[in-house]
Each structure stands twice: as structure tokens, then as C-alpha cells.
Amino acid sequence: MTDIRDDAPVPDAYASQRETTEGTVYTVTGGDWDTFLDEEHDDRIVINMGPQHPSTHGVLRLVLELEGETVTQARSVIGYLHTGIEKNCEYRTWTQGVTFVTRMDYLAPLFTEAAYCLGVEKLLGVEVPRRAQVARVMLMEINRIGSHLVALATGGMELGALTGMTAGFREREEVLHLLEFLTGLRMNHAYIRPGGLAQDFPEDWAEKVAGFVKIMKQRLPDYDKLLTGQPIWRQRLEKVGYLPVDGCLALGATGPILRAAGLPWDMRKVEPYSGYEEYDFEVPTATEADCYARYRLRVAEIHESLKIIEQAAAKMEPGPVMVADRKIAWPAQLSIGSDGMGNSLEHVRKIMGQSMESLIHHFKLVTEGFSVPAGQVYSAVESPRGEMGCHLVSDGGTRPLRVHVRDPSFVNLQTMPAMSEGGMVADVIAAVASIDPVMGGVDR
């Protein structure tokens, strides 16, 4: 018999390949939307919405087949914002990886930092100090409020409720001011590090947090007056973008989309992390499974996050914010100079004045990083958009062998055709707004 097996790889129509000194490089292409139109229906047209359209959340391209103003088919085209963050992490130390993952979902940077660091800590077999755990919970809930406010604000803007947009961004500024005070930066903080936090909170953090909670409690009722009970807003969102719970499960949707369909799936409750089992809060749900239900759900979640922030502030105890192991503990020992950059002279004198061995150790820890035992791990947190998971693979070195993030924006975007097909083209905008995708997380 003749052996007809062929070891040569079968060419992929969508991913041509070429060999380089670094290995095989694949060039992924789309392009099947040119056959999108059904020749039997010559009365239909295909239009592009995006990638520069103001209501496509950055650089999302939607290819819509229309019959009149009814959407008969919809397809999302992504990749316009690809940054290669996951691949870049393989060329940096485990600690430096935080500065990359925080730029994925740029509206919820502290969640990607937390998911990544929880994975590294599982591989290391370490548990962060109590104060760092409580601080992480507080920061994530503050960040959740900010992300939901942007969802409400941009959703209002896209549907013509411009006062909702200005109010939403006004409150979000309160969030960013507080995060800047606590972490040093408004966005892309790189504050949550493997083993704990980059540094402790400023001394008067409790007063600032209490002031923020007070302001939010005063202003949240305005959203009910402005949007929730507003007849035009309700008519614009009710029974639009319908996706029941079986559709959510089939498409892997999580977060407000799934909970608005009736399933109370929240990683903080079903698989608690960072001590979330100690906090008293509810998981809001709805059964209408439409855009209006998702809007109401996000408002309800802001109220629950405020409750968690108050509890975290009460639980905060004095103590370290980084593990005691000196082989991991950098860079929590850094002090920030008066210019807000780099090390203070006091810290430099301390390191250089201790001993030659401590200086060498500090230098090696900064430049080479620490080794992480070989293995792989998956860690997940509940981000404002759903399950944010991080899959890490270590070969025992000072750099990750593989970093992959399950970003909820990417998975949830699959629900767009199911929500939009059969509806009006104007309702596509409402559906995408209710999904609340962040294209930095989709393309990462």
C-alpha cells in the first residue's frame, strides 16, 4: 500500500504562514464579509457601521445586512486595536506583566491586575497579607462603579440622552480622583502586584473614601429621575436586544447580560476570591433580558458596590501590604519621590547603606525578577462586564511561558447578532451599548 499521509501543514484560508528566525508567523485575515450578501435577495443592502462610528465603542466594525431598516444579518469585525499584550508579557518579568495587563480593559484595569496577580500567587503558593486583600476588594469595587458609570454615560450619549452622558462622566471623575489619590494614577495603575500592593494607601485614605461614598449616595437617585423612570428612555430600551438565559449560556455570556436574563452568576459569590465571602451584598438579577434590564442591573450593582466599599473600609487593619518573603517583596518597598516618579532619595540611601548583599539582591530582583514554580493556573474575578479569567503557564523561570486572558468583552460580543437580527438598525446601537464592550479587552 502507498502511504498517502503528508506531514506538511494544510494551508489555512484565513491564516497564511511564513517561517522566520523566531519560528512560524501566521497572518490572520478575515474578508468573508464580501460573500455576506444573499444573491436571492437583491433588495437587501450591506452597510458598515464602524470602525470609526462614535457608537461602536472605539474601533468595532459591524457589517449589517438590511432589508429596509430591518437587520437580517449582523457580523462583528474586530482586530483594529490589536496590541499583542499577551505575547509581550512573555518577554517581561512576572511583575512587569502587570503593567501590560492593566492596559487591556482600560475601564476596569484593577480587575485584570487582580486576576493576573491571583494566578501568579497561586503558582507561587503565597497568600497576600490581610490589609492587601481588603484593599484590593475596595479598589475593585470603586473601579466597578467607575466602569458602570461609563456604560450608563456612553449608552445615554449613543441614544440621545446627553444629560445622562454629562452626569455619568461627572460622577466618574469622582471615581478617578479617588483612584488617583489611592494608587497614584487615574487609569492603568499597576498598583496590584504579585504578593500584594505596590505601596500602602496615603494616611487620610479613610476620609477620602467616606467622602466619595457620601457623594455617590447623594447623586445616584438622580439617575432614577433622569433615566430609569423617564418614559422615552424606557420605550427606547424595553423589549430591545432581547437575549434569554439559554442564549446567554450557549454564547458564553457572563456579567450583567447573564444576570439580566435571570441567572445570579457572580464569581464573587459562586467562587469567592480575596475574601469576598466575608462581605454582605446581593447579586441583582432581572428576568426581562433586554437592554432596559441591563441598564437597571448596572445601577443596582453600583449600590451594592458602595455597600462593599463601606464594609472594606471598616475591615481595614494596620499591617503590611506585601508578603514577607524578600525574594518576592519588591517593589512594595519603593518610595515615590516628590516628583511622583521613581524612588525617593531616602529609599535609595536605605538600600545602598544596608549592605552590598542587599544592594545586589535588590538589583537582581528588579532586573531579573523572581522565579515562579513550573505549572499552569486559571484564576478568575468578576469584572464589571463578567468573568475575567487569566490562564498563566510557567516553566519555572522569571518570565511567563504563556499568558492568556479570557476577557468578557470578547466573549459577550458574540451576543450582538442574536440581540440585533430581526430588529431595527437603530436598535443595534442600543444592543451594543447594553453589551458594554471595551475594545482594548477584545483585541488585547
What is the per-residue pLDDT across 94-116, written as a single tens digit (0 to 9) for each? Answer: 888 999 999 988 899 999 999 99
Residues 54 and 95 in one domain: no
Query: Which of 126-140, 219-233, 368-382 shows the lowest per-residue confidence on average (mean pLDDT)?
Result: 219-233
Which residue type is seen at 355? S
CB 303: neighbour CB atoms within 10 A? 15
Residues 93 and 198 in one domain: yes
* Residue 31 pLDDT: 58
- Is 7 a residue whose pLDDT tops 90? no
What is the CATH number for 405?
Answer: 1.10.645.10
Is residue 4 in a domain? Answer: no
Is residue 91 in a domain? Answer: yes
Residues 235 and 255 in one domain: yes
**Structural domain that includes position 394:** 85-331+348-436
The string of pLDDT tens digits covering residues 25-71 is 767 665 555 555 555 666 788 888 877 777 677 788 888 888 888 89
Q: Which of 56, 77, 98 is the last residue of a domain?
A: 77
Residue 198 makes CB contacts below 8 A (sequence gap 6+) with 183, 190, 191, 192, 331, 332, 334
* Residue 29 pLDDT: 63
Is residue 443 in a domain? Answer: no
- Identify which has the larger pLDDT, 325 or 141: 141
* Residue 111 pLDDT: 94
Residues 55 and 190 in one domain: no
Q: Percent of the chain having pLDDT more than 90?
A: 41
Distance, in Å, from the CA atom of 294 to the CA atom of 415, rounded to the nearest integer, reads: 14
* Residue 39 pLDDT: 59
Residues 134 and 198 in one domain: yes
Residues 133 and 65 in one domain: no
Is residue 3 in a domain? Answer: no
Grid coordinates in use for 249?
A: 449560556
Collapsing DSSP to helix, strand or coil, 239 comes out as coil
Residue whose C-alpha is closest to residue 212's, from 278, 146, 151:
146
Residue whose C-alpha is closest to residue 141's, from 255, 309, 310:
309
Is residue 267 in a domain? Answer: yes
Residues 362 and 312 in one domain: yes
Distance, in Å, from the CA atom of 198 to the CA atom of 350, rounded to the nearest integer, reads: 18
Q: Which of 61, 77, 93 is the last residue of a domain?
A: 77
Is residue 5 in a domain? Answer: no
Q: 24 forms bridges with which residues in the sheet?
A: 19
Distance, in Å, from the CA atom of 267 to the CA atom of 248, rounded to the nearest integer, reads: 16
* Residue 332 pLDDT: 47
The string of pLDDT tens digits covering residues 315-370 is 998 988 888 887 777 654 555 555 555 555 666 676 667 667 777 777 777 788 88
DSSP 242-260: ---HHHHHHHT--THHHHT
Distance, in Å, from the CA atom of 409 to the CA atom of 386, rounded to the nearest integer, reads: 8
The radius of gyration of the chain from alpha carbons, rounded to an integer in Å, stands at: 24
DSSP structure class, residue 276: G
Residues 89 and 72 in one domain: no
Is residue 226 in a domain? Answer: yes
Q: Cell 508578603 maps to which residue? A: 323
Residues 310 and 174 in one domain: yes
The string of pLDDT tens digits covering residues 231-268 is 888 888 889 889 999 999 999 999 999 999 989 999 99
Mean pLDDT in the chain? Answer: 85
Residues 285 and 410 in one domain: yes
CA angle 100, 105, 108 (to 5 degrees): 105
- Is 199 a residue whose pLDDT tops 70? yes
Residues 249 and 112 in one domain: yes
Residue 379's alpha-carbon distances to 138, 271, 403, in angstroms, are 19, 10, 12
Is residue 171 in a domain? Answer: yes
Confidence band (pLDDT; 50, 70, 90) for 226?
A: confident
Q: Which of 45, 77, 109 is the last residue of a domain?
A: 77
Q: Does the bond joining 51 to the residue before it have cis omega, within 30 degrees of 0?
A: yes
How many H helices and E strands in the chain?
A: 17, 10
pTM confidence score: 0.86
Instruction: Give yes or no for a contact between 107 and 438, defined as CB atoms under 8 angstroms apart.
Output: yes
Instruction: Give yes or no for a contact between 427 and 420, defined as CB atoms under 8 angstroms apart.
Output: yes
Which residue type is seen at 186? R
Q: Percent of the chain having pLDDT more than 70?
A: 86
Residue 223's alpha-carbon distances to 23, 150, 216, 321, 331, in angstroms, are 54, 13, 11, 37, 41
As for how many domains the chain has, the answer is 2
Confidence band (pLDDT; 50, 70, 90) for 23?
A: confident
Residues 47 and 107 in one domain: no
* Residue 403 pLDDT: 93
Distance, in Å, from the CA atom of 224 to the CA atom of 230, rounded to the nearest integer, reads: 8
